[in-house]
Structure 1
Amino acid sequence: MSQPKILPNLQPLRGFLALCVVIFHIPEISKTVNIVSFSDWPIFHKGEEAVWVFFTLSGFLIIGQLYKELKNGNVAIKKFYVRRMLRIYPVYYVVLLFGFIYYSLILPFFDIEYPVEYSIIEGLAWCIGFLPNVFKVLYAPGAILLVLWSIGIEEQFYLMVAPLAKISKPKPFTVGLIVFTIISFVLFFLPDFDFLRKYHFIYFYMSFGGLLSVLHYEGKVNYLIIKNDILRILYYFMFFAYFFTNAFVFSEDVFIHLFSFPFFGIFILNISNEKLFIINNKMLNYLGTISYGVYMYHMIAINFVLFLIMKLEDYLNLSDFSLILFINITCIILTIIISHISFYHFEKPFLRLKKKFNA
């Protein structure tokens, strides 16, 4: 069996996005426990936008693979779901169960009050049913469990899309992606469908990423791959300016998303087809490799570090600057350590098994 083609530059992108989420949450959680924090730079407020790029990248890769199977005449839907389960479920359920234990048992043991307004059975029902986004809004279950919302959104989307790929022909499937992207975007902002915004049912990033992948496979969006090297590099600078500056901040959410989802999609299309340079930096590629763990475990690391700071702050006797620096560096390093251990000693067996279910 031939190995799937690895598109260039996407691993470093994953690593960058995961770190954006981590440094977004460090000051957010620090504020909730009255620990000094720093978030004055725009990059500290781009965690949600990083998740949108993750959604776009997910659709680009996964729907692209589904479409290749569709073109070959056999969408192996059972194998598709088994691959998703083996990649997503192990870490998902570790974080889910740890979150329940943390808020229901560990915090009370240390006499730290945190309101748990749900039963474990109900929490499991929402999250096993892949509606953690609804669970998040209904109960504000705590930072460790909040990160699960985006995994739920992805799985909901693929529960809808994969069966459609199974029963479709290539052209209707492509048209369906176009229609789905437009309708899901419009409904998301209609007043009568405000529950879509309330519970974060934000599917159009994934469908648009998938649509670009499908059209690229058919050679129909080559005009979106910027041929001029200077203009293409300028586009890449615009992408990073999106995260490091407020140059692309809009007053209305509808305009933010209307700009962002095609902007991210075209960026991924170009960076994954880049011929001028391929990022081979070992550290950046390593962060991309463990990025799922970085995203899933970082709240555990942040909570642990801040818990220690609360207990030891008087003994540390650090200035505000030193304490902020210490918290950020420690949270990032601990997140990477946990993610490394998880990837190489917990996730790897599932990933090896996952290869047996390649299409």
Structure 2
Amino acid sequence: MPKRRHFETLDALRFFAFFVVFLSHCPLKEIPYLNYFSKSGGIGVSFFFVLSGFLISYILLFEKQQKEINLKNFFARRMLRIWPLFYGLILFAWATPYLLDFLNLSYSSEGYNPNWFSSILFLENYQMMLQNSFPNVSPLGVMWSVCIEEHFYIIWGILFYTVAIKNIPKLIIGSIIIANIFRLVYHNLSIEFIDVFTNLDLFAYGAIPAYLIIKKPEIFSYFEKLNPLIKHSFVVITIATVVIISNNNFPYWELYATTVLGVLFTILLVFTILKTNKLFISNNSIFSKLGKYTYGLYLHHTIFIKLTFRTIDKFIIIESAILRNITISLFALILSIIVSIISFYLFENQFIKLKKYFYKS
């Protein structure tokens, strides 16, 4: 039986997606060049969705190609990866007011008080849509995207289980159309695009190369023949587009920016999964190594940004706004990395090891 491919550069891409989100939550307005990424958090999440759409679609299609998809095992593996840290940090969020009292630090006055029922049921994104605001406790404010991921796993798993492989392209096209319809409706109703239906096309764009790997691998030979300069230039174009989209308010831009980003991120992804002449970042690179802990980094980082922010402002006087904000950002990143690594090996990995029991029929 053929083995699933390992896509070496994906971990590094995950870290880059996280880092864009991280920068958007840091106090960057006074920092030259980095301030261009101060509004790019949603774009980093969009990149996550494309990467997730690719990997999940590839896993499901590979299994479907070999035999029938085992939905029970698929959902169990996803639960073992997502749920432990998710619920651990919901417990932390619940305890946060007591911890802040103990540390004699102030509470956030912005946002709504959490509805714990919504939080534990992966409905935080819908609570945010109803409140038109963010929860006032970290890290609940970033969990909307994890909720979308969870809803995507359910929808995609069931659809890929029921739809024949030959009809997957129709499913992908249909998903892209549905997402654009939902964004148009939500735009007219002034509702934020933070549910699975308004982001379904990003997952679908990622599914395109996954389908091609399984059914039409010969198509990639065209991309392998492209001059490396074209591929590296495309990286620059993608970064420039992220900066432009983040810092400009074009008319109706929110309606079609997702499509532009989805296409760019998918092409960039294709350039990294080629077998030859590809954009390549080694598993031994620092970015790939850190990419292994991206889930923890994503869920932990706002905690340490806010904690560092309040601690430095309370105990350390830094006259320069630029130096103060750089210090906050660096300490928050270092703490996020340290805690995420510890969390991965001492907590998350204990559940990840159990996934081996859910690969059998």
Per the normalisation by structure 1, the TM-score is 0.86
What's the CA shift for 1:160? Answer: 1.2
Q: Where in structure 2 are there 5+ consecutive unaligned residues? A: none
The answer to whether the 8 Å contact 1:20/1:47 transfers is: yes
What's the CA shift for 1:159? Answer: 1.1
Match of 2:339 in 1: 338
The SS at the match of 2:139 is helix
- Residue 267 of structure 1 pairs with residue 262 of structure 2: no
Give the distance between the partners of 2:206 and 2:222, measured in 1 at CA. Answer: 13
Mapping of residues 143-162 of structure 1, within 5 Å: 143-162=138-157
Match of 2:89 in 1: 95
What's the CA shift for 1:182? Answer: 1.4
What's the CA shift for 1:196? Answer: 6.0
Give the distance between the partners of 2:299 and 2:108, measured in 1 at CA. Answer: 21
Identity %: 26
Give the distance between the partners of 2:80 and 2:297, measured in 1 at CA. Answer: 18
Match of 1:13 in 2: 13
- Residue 222 of structure 1 pairs with residue 224 of structure 2: no
Per the normalisation by structure 2, the TM-score is 0.86
The SS at the match of 1:225 is helix
Give the distance between the partners of 1:193 and 1:243, measured in 2 at CA. Answer: 25
Match of 1:279 in 2: 281
Mapping of residues 42-53 of structure 1, within 5 Å: 42-53=36-47
What's the CA shift for 1:268? Answer: 0.8
Give the distance between the partners of 1:93 and 1:253, measured in 2 at CA. Answer: 32
What's the CA shift for 1:278? Answer: 2.8
The SS at the match of 2:38 is helix
The answer to whether the 8 Å contact 1:66/1:165 transfers is: yes
Give the distance between the partners of 1:274 and 1:3, measured in 2 at CA. Answer: 15
Question: 1:49-69 CA distances to partner (integer Å, 9 max, x unpaired)?
Answer: 111000000000001111111
Match of 2:231 in 1: 232
What's the CA shift for 1:325? Answer: 2.0
Among 268, 279, 289, the residue aligned to 2:292: 289
Higher mean C-alpha deviation, range 213-222 or range 14-23: 213-222
What's the CA shift for 1:331? Answer: 0.8
What's the CA shift for 1:76? Answer: 0.7
Question: 1:5-58 CA distances to partner (integer Å, 9 max, x unpaired)?
Answer: 211211111111211211210118xx9xxxx87786323332211110000000
Q: Where in structure 1 are there 5+ consecutive unaligned residues? A: none
- Residue 322 of structure 1 pairs with residue 354 of structure 2: no
What's the CA shift for 1:162? Answer: 0.7
Match of 1:348 in 2: 349
What's the CA shift for 1:208? Answer: 1.9
The answer to whether the 8 Å contact 1:7/1:273 transfers is: no
Match of 2:116 in 1: 124
Give the distance between the partners of 1:187 and 1:254, measured in 2 at CA. Answer: 10
- Residue 309 of structure 1 pairs with residue 303 of structure 2: no
Give the distance between the partners of 1:89 and 1:130, measured in 2 at CA. Answer: 10
Q: Which amino acid in 2 is paired with 1:5?
A: R
Among 163, 166, 184, the residue aligned to 1:168: 163
Among 79, 89, 94, the residue aligned to 1:85: 79
The answer to whether the 8 Å contact 1:249/1:256 transfers is: no
What's the CA shift for 1:233? Answer: 2.2
What's the CA shift for 1:173? Answer: 3.2
- Residue 105 of structure 1 pairs with residue 98 of structure 2: yes
Question: 1:211-251 CA distances to partner (integer Å, 9 max, x unpaired)?
Answer: 33113321175377363122222212222333456699561
Give the distance between the partners of 2:37 and 2:105, measured in 1 at CA. Answer: 35
The SS at the match of 1:356 is helix
Question: 1:189-220 CA distances to partner (integer Å, 9 max, x unpaired)?
Answer: 23587476354442210122113311332117
The SS at the match of 1:8 is coil
- Residue 55 of structure 1 pairs with residue 49 of structure 2: yes
Give the distance between the partners of 1:43 and 1:317, measured in 2 at CA. Answer: 23
The answer to whether the 8 Å contact 1:63/1:210 transfers is: yes
Question: 1:81-122 CA distances to partner (integer Å, 9 max, x unpaired)?
Answer: 0110111111111221111221x4333553734458546xxx
Match of 1:211 in 2: 208
Residue 129 to residue 317, structure 1, CA distance change in 2 (3 Å): closer
The answer to whether the 8 Å contact 2:53/2:204 transfers is: yes
The SS at the match of 2:68 is coil
Q: Which amino acid in 2 is paired with 1:278?
A: F
Residue 317 to residue 231, structure 1, CA distance change in 2 (3 Å): closer
The answer to whether the 8 Å contact 1:42/1:246 transfers is: no
